[in-house]
Amino acid sequence: MASVAEVKSAIDAAIAQINEGQAAVRVAAEKLAEAQQSLAAALEGSGHEAVGAAQASLFQAATDLEECLAATVAAIEQAQSYAAML
């Protein structure tokens, strides 16, 4: 069984990793928004099935990145609370 200090150390390390993951997700979301804008301008008026499917997938990706960010915020709060009550 690990000591409290060891558990807290592992949780702190996990939080640091989550923070880095959050930063990468934010970068991804920004780049994705730019790509969506660029594609929307280039492909405006297209009725091609593949274009519609691509744009739907990009919308889905943006939604998932938003939900990922929200989940990481919640995970950090929970990890901090857990570590605080040890």
Q: Which of 86, 68, 78 is nearest to 14 (CA)?
A: 78
Query: Taking CB under 8 A as the criterion, which residues in 40-59 touch other proteins?
Result: 41-43, 46, 48-51, 53-58
**DSSP H helical segments within 1-86, as ranges?**
4-42, 49-85
First to last CA, the chain: 14
Residue 1 interacting with other proteins (CB under 8 A): yes
Interacting residue ranges for other proteins, rule: CB under 8 A: 1-3, 6-7, 9-11, 13-18, 20-22, 24-25, 27-29, 31-32, 34-35, 38-39, 41-43, 46, 48-51, 53-58, 60-65, 67-68, 71-72, 74-75, 78-79, 82
